[in-house]
Structure 1
């Protein structure tokens, strides 16, 4: 059923830094398993910052999925709405992508083109400084429940029922889908994961 709203479900984050990629991986999973009517767009927003502004300007409803540092136990999921969304995205920045997305929201508000409804679905990360790493087991376990939570929001608040997908959908290049990315990761001995120890002052 169509809701009459143009809904953007946006996963943001950096898949190169372990749990930072939670939002992207969750929307990837949502797109792989479920099909939606044309007024629902699923997007891997990555760390694109202001490049996302045109997509926000054309949306009536924005659902952001991200790793958010609430200072809570890893894997804790929280949902915030409307005026609380910019506040929680900016409360404790973990990386440049959150600063960039704050600018996107601020620009949309300044232009009077911010979506009328905003919902943030965020999960507390466990590890962020593992360069090239995948999701930790704790946070990976929240991908499926978060997919279910997003489907429930779409169903209960906007009257949109997802349908099981019969054919695979692509939201990312095959080489960086979660399975391919994590299974092809070099060992810690082959590839430095936290940076040059001389630069970090560890040498």
Structure 2
């Protein structure tokens, strides 16, 4: 199993909620990764979130975040910050959330030792297949942060020359 997991979370049919998927597809198109790194576009994993993270040493999660601030603002949370609030009752396809999945993984003895959430405050989380301009503008910083984290863990990706076009299938009109 790979030592580091980069996990994109979100629903590609809900506007800015597709941030995690965008980042994973951009990373795959722009870089090759060492064997110890796995990239997964998990969609809205719900209870499967614990299974995705199980057994990895490091987990980098990319998602939109509810936080005070302006749409497109970057946020970075470590495990301690994520665990500050009490667990939530599952009320949506996103649930259980990251915090609850970490608690479950801890209980099972399979939690990553290091967890980071790289997030952006969304502008529009509603039916639609495009990122808002503020969130789209934040994409380069999020990608840079993931690459910096991987590099700090001794697993620097190698840029593709030339980079490929990302497979953003949900933004492609049918029949094209």
Please say whether Structure 1 and Structure 2 have the same fold, judged by a TM-score greater than 0.5.
yes
The 1-side partners of 2:7 and 2:86 are apart by 14
The counterpart of 1:160, out of the listed 135, 150, 155, is 155
The 2-side partners of 1:145 and 1:81 are apart by 17
Note the C-alpha offset of 1:69: 1.2
> Secondary structure, in 3 states, of the residue corresponding to 1:135?
coil
The counterpart of 2:15, out of the listed 13, 18, 21, is 18
1:50–1:18: structure 2 CA closer, same or farther, 3 Å change rule? same
CA offset digits 1:75-124 (Å, max 9, x no partner): 00011112212447978x99531534444222112112110000110100
1:86–1:163: structure 2 CA closer, same or farther, 3 Å change rule? same
> Who is 1:141 aligned against?
137
The 2-side partners of 1:122 and 1:88 are apart by 17
> Who is 2:114 aligned against?
117
Aligned partners of 1:50 and 1:101 also within 8 Å: no
The 2-side partners of 1:22 and 1:51 are apart by 19
Aligned partners of 1:74 and 1:139 also within 8 Å: yes
Aligned partners of 2:13 and 2:170 also within 8 Å: no
The counterpart of 2:147, out of the listed 129, 146, 151, is 151
Note the C-alpha offset of 1:18: 0.1
- List alignment gaps of at least 5 residues for structure 1: 172-176, 186-203
The 1-side partners of 2:114 and 2:75 are apart by 17
The 1-side partners of 2:46 and 2:79 are apart by 20
Aligned partners of 1:50 and 1:103 also within 8 Å: no
Coordinate RMSD, CA, aligned: 2.8
How many residues are matched? 172
- Give the TM-score normalised by structure 1: 0.74
Note the C-alpha offset of 1:166: 4.8
1:88–1:165: structure 2 CA closer, same or farther, 3 Å change rule? farther
Find out whether 1:52 has 2:46 as its counterpart. Answer: no
**Larger-Rg structure:** 1
The 2-side partners of 1:56 and 1:182 are apart by 28
Note the C-alpha offset of 1:160: 2.1
- List alignment gaps of at least 5 residues for structure 2: none
CA offset digits 1:129-162 (Å, max 9, x no partner): 2x13310111011112210111111112x12221
